[in-house]
Structure 1
Amino acid sequence: MSTKHAMTRALAVTASVGLVTGIVATTPAAAEAGAPPSAVAITTDDKGSPGQGTPIGTAQLTAGPQISRSETISRAASWVGLGLIYDTDGTYQGYRKDCSGYVSMAWNLSKTGGGLDTTSFVPTGVASWISKGELKPGDALLNDAALAAGHVVLFEGWTDASRTSYYGYEFTKSGNVLHRQIPYPYFSGHGTFKPARNNSIVDDAQPQAGDQPVAGNWDGGGSANVGIFRPSTGEFHLRNDDGSLTKVYWGENGDLPVSANWDGAGPDNVGIFRPSTGEFHLRMDDGSITKLNWGANGDLPVSANWDGGPAANVGIFRPSTGEFHLRNDDGSITKVNWGQQGDLPVSGNWDGAGPDNVGIFRPSTGEFHLRNDDGSLTKLNWGANGDLPVSGNFDGANGYPAANVGIWRPSTADFHLRMDDGSLINLNWGQPH
């Protein structure tokens, strides 16, 4: 599709938080690839722990229930900015207000004793040691010494492919619950930290192995069309206006598809977001690749023309926080709060003017919640639970400038595309699953 009309598809994770609106822009210096804008830079001396509660004996332990990685991160984020004071004898929501009580809360462990301490996580069987290469969101960096000598940090994700620093959540000695960038494994001079994993944590839902929908203006005609990405073969099957097929080999199993006009000329093209590395691999008209580090494992990709420049760009939707992190042409980041866990992101020029914007498809209600330039909401009932969203200017050949929404139904491999007048175009494309 054109630079004004981009598409995204990704798979959701589950939980429930409220839909909120808001927008924040940061400078290129603050916009490291994929960096959560809320993360605090490594400039503070606030490190480590001043002490902890009493160790919990194995007989007192009640193991926590199964918990997803995204829920763990969401629980950790819920204590940030509350002004809690570090207090080994005090509790909040039943958990001790210290580093290990905080991680016990994020992992939804027993509230007995206000949570475990750093010496107890592994010996009680609640957690196990893992390798650096195994770290995933919701794991921890643990110094298992006692009292003030010990400390624990919840791992959110690597800052970039070098894996020399990461984003973490921790309750520190000043009394602050911080979300910040931390050198791996932790700041020097604060003991020995090793990766550990809650034995009850489970991965979030992964991309389906079957076809995944895309939309774009593949042939330079007046309107956008549809296509599918087939992860099993690493192929895009793109439908042209005359019903013919264009096949592009790009991506591999586990990738998530995106599409837009990356170079600002000619037809739209395809790309993939690779969750395992937090990288976008974007295909240009001449077949070359542009690689961008933006996002982290668990994020869902979007693509559109956020800043009104000549070319489209990329972004991610972070389900754990309900935030879009959008990359501009100069490398800066625009952050938009829109959506909640369980939503699937879309993007497009909903009002036909200005830059593109974001939206979400809520499978639980079959609704699209589209954000306009002024921050207002347009709500459309289109689709059902199990459908996957697409967006593009499907009726552009009729002179309509605004983007439209649609869904792809995996059970039938049918696209149901909504026109500006509310009418339906139905196209069968792809393989059902």
Structure 2
Amino acid sequence: MRLDQRAARLLLSVVIAAGVLGGGVATAAPAADPTGGEGLRAAVAGYQAAPGTPTTTVTSTEVSGATVTAEVATPPVTRSEIITRARTWTTAGVPYSQSDYYGGYRTDCSGFVSMAWKLSESLTTRNLDQVAHRIDKDDLKAGDILLSYDNHVVIFEKWADTARTEYYEFEQTPPRAVYRKIPYPYYSGTYLPYRYDNVIEDDGEVTALPGLSTISRSAGDLDVFAATSDGHLKHRNMNDGVWGCWATLPYNAKIKGDPAAIFSAGRIDVFAQGVDNRLKKITWTSAYGWYQWADMGDYVVTSSPAVTSRSATGIDVFAKNAANKIVYRHYDTVQGWTTSWSNIGLNASTVTASGAPAAVANADGSRMNVFARATDGSLLSLMWTRDAGWYSWADRGGDFIGRPAASTRGGDSVDIFVRDHDNSFVHRYSPNGADWTTYPASDFGGYILTSPTAVSMTGQRIDVFTRNSGADLIRKTWTGTNGWYEWAGHGAVGAPAC
């Protein structure tokens, strides 16, 4: 199901829970509470501030009428770190409580914000404004909050629409911490935008781990490639269900993002974006093994590449350029580059991509499908056929993060896999690469940390790899006989090492 369906069910459960519990913060209509909508402010047990950490004098009036003043550590924190910290509670499903604690912080709405901002106390909705300042609606960025004084508070992540009538937020509310899309500023009540005083500006995007690529050389055989945070490439092979060790490939170049691997008879080519934003390629042959990395020209690419093939020696290479256009170039394993980089799609001048592409060709080379993420997070698709050439880019909807993955089970069929905006795993299918409405998207939920990569070793099997919240490699398999299996864990990337 899509996010709006999940949100509707969650909203219903929240309203029911609020009614059963007879208190707390009800999503539909939060009511003020004598304690400020949550428990009392409390110091975080075991909190250790780094030398030089700034503090703020915070004053509050307790239920008894007493005035309490204390110095609260207010360390600098980046926007992306705020979002990362908030996500730890939504991923763990931390239950809501005005008296319980998780990781030292009270597990209500303001304790949640205090945790995300790394404060030394669990503050309340009555005093969070003393470590933050008012901002305008149009200034909201990831890690800011919407505060209803003496009532409730949520963490803003991003706008859900260009009209800015809805947004994605993190929130601690009965029955547990959630991430969802809600109307601005909230379902009801007066909510004002605030910004933490010591926030460090960055883009607020949580940087995913370097990505993955997978190929199949034959039935029963899988190869997985993983970029590392220090700019190198690792490789692991599975043959007939037996996994080998992780090998680190030659060190003569540094890469970033997601590698893009492709297999032809007796040969593997892996393309990647270099740290210098130039394309790199490393090749394996059955006769020689792994070669050194090769520079593939001075053209600047601003994304990881995608590759597919329509012939025995041809490789079609795609990437995003500095103008945020998806560009294409053809490489031949015998001749080298045979074309120059060029924009693709009849409407290329009006289409802007915000992420790396994915590409897949059918078996006879008569058709290619290319995909990318639009600036609003929706899926863009483009078709090429031998008879007609490039068609126009089409918007297929959705809202996902990073790059899509594309594979085919045979014929003109296409399977698309994405990391959805809430980090769940989503699958879409088209029988011909053009019809994306007959078969609804399948949302498998969960939390994945990198964009997926997928391959079909036969027409009756798909293997999808990604990383979970612990950064371990995980795999989900589909077979024509049994459908989708549960996720299988394959441990940390790099372990065991060769």
Equivalent position of 1:257 in the other structure: 356
The SS at the match of 2:327 is strand
The amino acid that maps onto 1:71 is T
Q: Is the 8 A contact 1:304 1:356 kept in 2?
A: no
Q: Is the 8 A contact 2:372 2:381 kept in 1?
A: yes
Indicate which of 301, 306, 322 corresponds to 1:215.
306
Q: Is 1:71 aligned with 2:84?
A: yes
Equivalent position of 2:248 in the other structure: none
The SS at the match of 2:73 is coil
Name the structure with the higher strand share: 2
Deviation, 1:65, is 4.2
Mapped to 2, the partners of 1:140 and 1:358 lie a distance apart of 36
Deviation, 1:151, is 1.0
The SS at the match of 1:64 is coil
Residue pairs, 1:285-296, within 5 angstroms: 285=384, 286-296=390-400
Aligned residues: 326
Indicate which of 35, 38, 60 corresponds to 2:71.
60
Q: Is the 8 A contact 1:351 1:372 kept in 2?
A: no
Indicate which of 234, 237, 241 corresponds to 2:328.
237
Mapped to 1, the partners of 2:182 and 2:456 lie a distance apart of 39
Mapped to 1, the partners of 2:407 and 2:6 lie a distance apart of 20
Q: Is the 8 A contact 2:416 2:428 kept in 1?
A: yes
Equivalent position of 1:317 in the other structure: 419
The amino acid that maps onto 1:52 is E
Q: Is 1:140 aligned with 2:242?
A: no
The amino acid that maps onto 2:419 is F
Q: Is the 8 A contact 1:272 1:280 kept in 2?
A: yes
The SS at the match of 1:360 is strand
Indicate which of 436, 449, 453 corresponds to 1:347.
453
Identity among equivalent pairs (%): 22
Deviation, 1:121, is 2.6
Mapped to 2, the partners of 1:36 and 1:66 lie a distance apart of 34
Mapped to 1, the partners of 2:380 and 2:308 lie a distance apart of 19
Indicate which of 357, 364, 371 corresponds to 1:271.
371
Mapped to 1, the partners of 2:352 and 2:393 lie a distance apart of 18
Q: Is the 8 A contact 1:37 1:335 kept in 2?
A: no
Equivalent position of 1:168 in the other structure: 169
Equivalent position of 2:295 in the other structure: none
Give ranges in structure 1 of 5+ residues lacking alignment: 1-29, 383-433
Deviation, 1:95, is 1.6
Deviation, 1:195, is 2.9
Indicate which of 124, 128, 134 corresponds to 1:117.
124
Mapped to 1, the partners of 2:186 and 2:139 lie a distance apart of 17
Equivalent position of 2:444 in the other structure: 335
The amino acid that maps onto 1:345 is S
Q: Deviations over 1:119-176 (max 9, x none)?
A: 323332xx34344444444332222x22xxx21012344445554333433233x554
Deviation, 1:184, is 1.6
Provide the alpha-carbon RMSD of the alignment: 4.2
Q: Is the 8 A contact 1:213 1:227 kept in 2?
A: no
Mapped to 1, the partners of 2:314 and 2:118 lie a distance apart of 46
Give ranges in structure 2 of 5+ residues lacking alignment: 16-25, 42-57, 60-68, 208-256, 258-274, 278-299, 385-389, 430-435, 479-484
* TM value normalised by structure 2: 0.54
Equivalent position of 1:95 in the other structure: 105
* TM value normalised by structure 1: 0.61
Equivalent position of 2:287 in the other structure: none
Q: Is the 8 A contact 1:140 1:154 kept in 2?
A: yes
Equivalent position of 1:197 in the other structure: 195
Deviation, 1:102, is 1.6
Mapped to 1, the partners of 2:318 and 2:164 lie a distance apart of 33
Mapped to 2, the partners of 1:153 and 1:236 lie a distance apart of 40
The amino acid that maps onto 1:31 is R
Q: Deviations over 1:206-254 (max 9, x none)?
A: 7886523423336x32477252424214351322435312533257887
Equivalent position of 2:2 in the other structure: 31
The amino acid that maps onto 1:93 is G
Q: Is the 8 A contact 1:76 1:169 kept in 2?
A: no
The SS at the match of 1:187 is coil
Compared with structure 1, are the counterparts of its residues 92 and 259 closer, same or farther at alpha carbon in structure 2 (3 Å cutoff)? closer
Mapped to 2, the partners of 1:75 and 1:289 lie a distance apart of 37
Mapped to 2, the partners of 1:257 and 1:186 lie a distance apart of 34
More displaced, 373-382 or 59-68? 373-382
Mapped to 2, the partners of 1:224 and 1:161 lie a distance apart of 41
The amino acid that maps onto 1:325 is V
Mapped to 2, the partners of 1:227 and 1:141 lie a distance apart of 44
